[in-house]
Structure 1
Amino acid sequence: MPDFSTIDFTAILPFIAIGFAAQVIDGALGMAFGLINSTLLVSMLGMPPALASASVHAVETFTTAASGVSHIYHRNVDWRLFRRLVIPGVLGGVIGAYVLSNVDAAVAKPFVMAYLAAIGLFLLYRAWRGALTLQSPKIVAPLGLAGGFLDAAGGGGWGPVVTSNLLVQGAAPRTTIGTVNTSEFFLTATVSITFFTQMGLAAFSLATLGLLIGGLVAAPLGGILAKRVPARPLMAMVGALLTLTSAYTIWQALR
């Protein structure tokens, strides 16, 4: 862990801005904080994937708690769906963190991102087509397990995998986003603990501190945005973000 008393804190301002922007998007659309920040840490700073994922999850332990409180306050949480997601998600996260700490999981990433890009395009089509048919999602526990695993092993993925697939099954956008954000706290806390048992305190860095400050400032805004934006535009924004981030990650991996 660095000695923060000797650091020029102007150096963390870019990370504060990135953490703020990523958390606004994540809180409002149910995804992207992990993907945006992991991509930054790995591609721009050259941080090893396991260390980047550990850093992001350390930050998300705090930001998801604040975001979850906001979503609960604005009544964006479906508690039945929450109970079905949390335990499989935590289990998948523990397995994914252990795998990433000991095995290179980067080989599968382009294939996962191609799948998510296709889901994003489908969500855009549903939003463009017209009225949404809402229904209770049937496949939840396996989705939570897969989302938790991919989130830990890939440095981000809980929101893109879980939110997008629940929306495809007909879940209401507002409560889906609120529920996925709120349940993510338990996933990130567990994943962080798992990483620390494997790697120690190496995840704490100057970048981590900046992302944490920016993320905490932005966290309360997500619940407000998810509550006030209508369902069709919300689904369209989720689809667009998912398609763009997945396409960029594929391009980075195949260069």
Structure 2
Amino acid sequence: MNQTLAQDSEKEKAGNQLFPIFLKLQNFNTLLVGGGNVGLEKLEAMLNNSPDANITVVADRYLDEVFTLLEKHPQVKTIQRQFQVSDLEGKELVILATDNYELHQQIQQLCKVNGILVNVADTPHLCDFYLGSIVKKGNLKIAISTNGKSPTVAKRLKQVLNESLPDELDQTLDNINKIRNTLTGDFAYKVKKLNEVTASLVDEEPKQKISPKALGWIIWITVLAFAGITFFALWNQDPAFKNYLLTVNPYFYYFLIAGFIFAMVDGAIGMSYGVTSTTFSLSMGIPPASASTAVHISEILSNGIAGWMHFKMGNVNKKLFKMLVIPGIIGAVIGAFLLSSLEHYSHYTKPLISVYTFVLGVIIIRKAIIANRRKNEPAKKKITKVAPLGFTGGFVDAVGGGGWGTIVLSTLIAGGRNARYSLGSVKLSRFFVALMSSLTFVTMLNDLHWYAVSGLVLGSAIASPIAAKVSNKISAKTIMFAVGIIVILASSKNIIGFIMKFLA
């Protein structure tokens, strides 16, 4: 044994000499010994990559999670007893995943005699092959090996590649395959043409048409222009605005505190600022259109900064952004126009908006409940109807004072879109959606309840730099539950109030 270890050590000095291959496990008879945590990990690795793998599992005890996993893989056979030599009959691959080192040595020697390849968990010198970490993007698979030195490093590299490689790679593979099938000629000609087609994949990335610095200037200039136009327009048209500048409404402080709290919550879970702020505004007697205006104006700067940061970090999928922003703006402007036109009927629209926020509260709680379950769910087919989603999200967001993140971001992620690119694209597009809906509200409404607007703007601005640090120390699941309950209770108060007035 010592001689074997010495030989392996000498080989390792020459570098990683492993030869990588991809096996069709459905064509092999594989034996897995062990039904505990390590056995479950090995079984998940094989079935996630080869769902039809022909596997027999032998163990004297099993975790419940093993049987849960095998509900979707009835071809896998389980035997509940200790290992027997007869278990090796007809097997071509063996994986050992128990805590019994002596048993592993015994089985490894038997496999050697019978010409069976064997993998022994956490014991490299007994292995004929290793199970590497696998990065999977549709038809693309990348296997990572550290020569058995550090599985932890392999897992971290897997995480980095999973986050960095876009989901669109699978679509690229499909397109290249279609091109390949249309090519005629000999092998050399096909290789030449495919090399020309795929050259862009390794060429230096073309420069962005808009640099992060230029985008930052565009956002700041747009915000300042909006503020200037709004100020002068209201100074000349809205007498209440002049009075507001001279006296501070006591309710301003309530909205200041509320804006701070809701921005902190939004920083922790990435959504719900609009729905919580709107629900609070309605409960304070603000009409729906004015409530939506206050929320959208307070979101312009914060989303502009967040969108710029995501763009700078490369988290914005430009194609996804374009598919969201134009339909989102159109939907938001239409929604803002309709809601502003119905401002005189706020005693009717207010309960309807309260019903909408009540539903969003239920959705938030549901997301908190199923958050952990979704980690184990198989990947869904990627959503392709992004433009209708953007229009619907913009319209509902303007009418209800919130919901862009809850509706659009959640749908994109649930629909198989990359979470990081979805978040960045949604945040940046949200800046333009909030800007255009705010302009529509400002130009159509006379009394905007500026104590609510300024309170939310200032409160959320103060909270923004703090939220990111605090969010790492708070359970997002707990906050989602709390937000959902608060929104449901506040919305119920408005609905019950309307019903009581109607009955009276």
Q: TM-score, normalised by structure 2?
A: 0.43
Cα separation, partners in 2 of 1:24 and 1:77, compared to 1, 3 Å: farther
50-59 or 149-158, which deviates more: 50-59
Structure of larger gyration radius: 2
Asked if structure 2 preserves the Cα contact closer than 8 Å seen for 1:50 and 1:101, the reply is yes
Asked if structure 1 preserves the Cα contact closer than 8 Å seen for 2:290 and 2:449, the reply is no
Name which of 401, 407, 414 aligns with 1:168: 414
Corresponding position of 2:280: 40
Corresponding position of 1:21: 261
Select the structure with the greater relative contact order (CA < 8 A; seq sep ≥ 6).
1
Return the alpha-carbon distance in structure 2 between the equivalents of residues 124 and 170 of structure 1.
20
Corresponding position of 1:63: 302
- The AA in structure 1 aligned to 2:293 is A
Corresponding position of 1:85: 324
Query: How many Å apart are 1:147 and its aligned residue?
Result: 0.9
Identity %: 31
Query: How many Å apart are 1:77 and its aligned residue?
Result: 3.1
Return the alpha-carbon distance in structure 1 between the equivalents of residues 483 and 323 of structure 2.
24
Return the alpha-carbon distance in structure 2 between the equivalents of residues 14 and 3 of structure 1.
19
Corresponding position of 2:359: 114
Corresponding position of 2:341: 102
Return the alpha-carbon distance in structure 1 between the equivalents of residues 442 and 413 of structure 2.
33
Which structure 2 residues correspond to residues 220-239 of structure 1 after superposition, within 5 A?
220=465, 236=477
Query: How many Å apart are 1:197 and its aligned residue?
Result: 2.0
Asked if structure 1 preserves the Cα contact closer than 8 Å seen for 2:358 and 2:492, the reply is no
Corresponding position of 1:219: 464
Return the alpha-carbon distance in structure 2 between the equivalents of residues 133 and 90 of structure 1.
33
Which residues of structure 2 form unaligned runs of 5+? 1-240, 343-347, 497-504
**Higher fraction of helix:** 1
- The AA in structure 1 aligned to 2:375 is G
Cα separation, partners in 2 of 1:195 and 1:166, compared to 1, 3 Å: same
Which structure 2 residues correspond to residues 129-148 of structure 1 after superposition, within 5 A?
130-131=375-376, 133=378, 136-148=382-394
Return the alpha-carbon distance in structure 2 between the equivalents of residues 78 and 239 of structure 1.
27
- The AA in structure 1 aligned to 2:455 is G
2:420 counterpart of 1:181: no
Cα separation, partners in 2 of 1:125 and 1:222, compared to 1, 3 Å: same
Asked if structure 1 preserves the Cα contact closer than 8 Å seen for 2:265 and 2:479, the reply is no
Asked if structure 1 preserves the Cα contact closer than 8 Å seen for 2:327 and 2:394, the reply is yes
2:493 counterpart of 1:252: yes
Residues 159-194 of structure 1: CA deviation (Å, up to 9, x unaligned): 221122223213344443333222111011100111
Question: How many residues end up aligned between the 2 structures?
Answer: 248
**Higher fraction of strand:** 2
Return the alpha-carbon distance in structure 2 between the equivalents of residues 11 and 248 of structure 1.
21
Return the alpha-carbon distance in structure 1 between the equivalents of residues 487 and 256 of structure 2.
24
Counterpart of 1:87 in 2: which secondary structure? helix
- The AA in structure 2 aligned to 1:59 is S
Residues 21-64 of structure 1: CA deviation (Å, up to 9, x unaligned): 222332443322222222222212x1111111122222222222
Asked if structure 2 preserves the Cα contact closer than 8 Å seen for 1:126 and 1:132, the reply is no
Q: TM-score, normalised by structure 1?
A: 0.79
